[in-house]
Amino acid sequence: MLRLDVRFLHRNGYLAGSLCASIQWRVNGHRTSDIRIDTSEGERPAKLMLNYRFRGHREEWGDMSEAVRLEWQPCHFGGVRPWLTCPHCDRRVGVLWGAERFLCRHCQRIAYQSQNESRLDRSCNQSRKLRERLGAHLEDLSCSVDQLPRPKGMHHATYDRLVARIAAYDRQWREDMAAQFGGF
């Protein structure tokens, strides 16, 4: 699915008033899709017009033009933050996902990657992330917990807590592997 992120749009000047711009999505250097964005007038536009082409499953190409409302939230220390409003459910979101229409994650029924991971994958990924936080390099990720050095400047209590969490994730991984493949 195509990802339209309001933070990217705002950071790169696509939300300036009375602007017509085009965004392209590429995979391995090849253009896979593009969209034209027109903003309404004013310093803080109230809507975006998305103009794009799509093709449903085994169908001909069709043109789509859809209005997406923008909301501007004031920040505590000044400035404003833009939000997109889902055209289907009116939910305020940071990202719209595009297929036939650009809708929020809930309307498109998109799960987070972690929601599709097994318990075995989660314990392995969490252990890897914590090892990287302690400064382990790719070749050090399989070393035992005892061999992980404490990074300079890290409190001993923090280091001990992270090592204990790594040990727990490793133990969970071994138990899950034993349950799945019979003995480890």
Look-up of token digits 């909301």: 71
Max CA pair span of the chain: 66
What span, in angstroms and rounded, lies between the C-alpha atoms of 23 and 35? 5
Q: Where are the domains of the chain?
A: 2-110, 114-181
pTM of the predicted model over 0.75:
no
Q: Is the pLDDT of residue 57 over 70?
A: no
| pLDDT score of 76 | 93
What span, in angstroms and rounded, lies between the C-alpha atoms of 131 and 85? 39
SS3 81: strand
Query: Among 136, 89, 123, which Cα is nearest to 109's?
Result: 89
Question: pLDDT for 1-45, tens place per residue?
Answer: 888 999 999 998 888 777 888 888 888 888 878 888 888 777 788
Q: Is the pLDDT of residue 124 over 60?
A: yes
Tokens at 25, concatenated: 């999505």
| pLDDT score of 142 | 64
- Please give the mean pLDDT across all residues of the chain: 86
| pLDDT score of 140 | 58
Q: Is the pLDDT of residue 184 over 60?
A: no
Contact residues for 140 (Cβ-Cβ < 8 A; gap 6+): 131, 147, 148
DSSP letter for each residue of 130-154: HHHHTT--GGGTTS-GGGPPPPTT-
One-letter amino acid of 76: H
Give the residue-averaged pLDDT of 119-135.
88
b/e code 65-76 from CB counts within 10 Å (16+ = b): eeebbbeeeeee
What span, in angstroms and rounded, lies between the C-alpha atoms of 111 and 135? 31
